[in-house]
Amino acid sequence: MSLPIVAIVGRPNVGKSTLVNRLAASRQAIVHDQPGITRDRTYQQAFWLDRDFIVIDTGGIVFDDDTEFLPMIREQANLALSEANAAILVVDGQAGPTPADEELARWLRQQHLPIFLAVNKCESPDQSIILASQFWELNLGEPYPISSIHGNGTGDLLDAVVAELPSIDELPEIEETNVAIVGRPNVGKSTLLNALTGKNRSIVSPISGTTRDTIDMHIERNGTNYRLIDTAGIRRKKNVEYGAEFFSINRAFKAIKRADVVLLVIDAVDGVTEQDQKLADRIIEEGRAAIIVVNKWDAVEKDSYTIYDFEKHIRDRLYFFDWAEMLFISAQTGLRVDKLFGSIDKAAIAHQRRISTAVINEVLQEAIRWHSPPTSRQGKQGKIYYGTQVSSAPPVIALFVNDPKRFNESYKRYIDRQFREQLDFTGTPVRFAWRGKKVREAERSANRATKV
């Protein structure tokens, strides 16, 4: 996903997780690991007004302690910071500045990214300025008094943070398309892998930081680079041990997570099975681009209706996957295998696409003109103020409305369809985030604030 990243750092118990929970779009609970064990980084998606970003909670960092797991936490924090676009140092306003805060501040000042200082646990409006002002001595600029529990002050903090984040247009484009080949055992994944790599230049390399049995293969074709994910897993011959099925689906899930484009391979002879549907569900959940690859087309008895019948069968069983292109191939004979690259490129481009706010609003206005939003029984009509793309890979379009509850599923589907018809998104899922009036009001006040 190409989104800017904000790292949350601070010593233990200052309220980092509480802040992350408040910022996170999904109110998913953050797993608190047991004390004494490395806390892994947690990534969550968050937004403020019309800016989306990822927040990373780095776990508690204390530099002057020497318990054995600290080097690991420190390494995690370093890694988190190296991939972040901004960091928020959280301190405890009620406790005042501590030597650990000072040490952290000194370390952060050496990092090359904007740092914001959040003074947490400032519930009382009368005291918050006084509590916060004690932290000027950390030399990190203005201390923002906040209460992660109640939400006070977080708006001002976030206004400042998002102003420093790169817009999605400024984030780097991917240089290599990550492709995962998934499907049930025996659908022809390894045969397809051989067909794809056979004529094309390929290099095999283990991914750094993982066990040797996960191997990616890089191929280059007409100047474009592809990384085929976990080719060792594709090649692994099915074993009959207990649980092999479980491990192979888990392996596929992991590959999907790392992919830009997923090739969902289906056996033309067997048709769509329950396992295929599970994989398709996961692809959508992870927001990956995909192509439905119907393999063993050579083995199907054909008459002139067959492709049509097949396509209908597959579309019926995977109806929520209607955005994906379908290709009928034979990995064994090579039929249409070359065409696959064109489809991968197209899907990858759609997945990465950035649509200007002007174009999005043209589509919206046109859609509303044909079919206005529903009116409730009380006579209140849904209003869409404007839309803007807040994230790519997959594209996420935020729609600012008076009240998301006024828009029923059928109207939401209508809007979705209009976007698909007007702007070609073949190959990628697209998400819509319906955001209510409060956000818009907040934005107006934010605009006012920046104009003053």
Binding site for ligand GDP (CB under 6 A): 10, 12-18, 60, 120-121, 123, 147-149, 183, 185-191, 234, 295-296, 298-299, 330-332
Contacts of residue 8, Cβ cutoff 8 Å, sequence gap at least 6: 16, 19, 20, 55, 56, 57, 58, 87, 88, 90
Name the residue nearer to ligand GDP (CB basis): 51 or 189: 189
| Summary count for the chain: helices (H), strands (E) | 14, 16
Alpha helices in 269-406 (DSSP H): 274-286, 306-317, 337-352, 357-370
DSSP assignment letter at 59: -
Residue with tokens 């992919």: 259
Name the residue nearer to ligand GDP (CB basis): 107 or 411: 107
Distances in Å between the alpha carbon of 282 and those of 104, 228, 248?
40, 19, 14
Name the residue nearer to ligand GDP (CB basis): 12 or 404: 12
Q: From CA 182, how far away is CA 276, in angstroms rounded? A: 9
Contacts of residue 137, Cβ cutoff 8 Å, sequence gap at least 6: 97, 102
Name the residue nearer to ligand GDP (CB basis): 123 or 311: 123
Q: How many CA atoms lie within 13 A of 396 on its CB side?
A: 23
Min dist. Cβ of residue 441 to ligand GDP (A): 23
Name the residue nearer to ligand GDP (CB basis): 123 or 443: 123
Residue-wise DSSP of 320-356: GGTTSEEEE--TTT-TTHHHHHHHHHHHHHHHH----
Q: Say how many residues make up the chain.
A: 452
Min dist. Cβ of residue 142 to ligand GDP (A): 18
Min dist. Cβ of residue 121 to ligand GDP (A): 4
Min dist. Cβ of residue 242 to ligand GDP (A): 19
Min dist. Cβ of residue 13 to ligand GDP (A): 4
Min dist. Cβ of residue 55 to ligand GDP (A): 12
Q: Output the CA angle 382-385-388, nearest 5 degrees.
A: 125
Name the residue nearer to ligand GDP (CB basis): 183 or 387: 183
- How many other CB atoms sit within 10 Å of the CB of residue 446? 18
Name the residue nearer to ligand GDP (CB basis): 31 or 452: 31
Min dist. Cβ of residue 326 to ligand GDP (A): 16
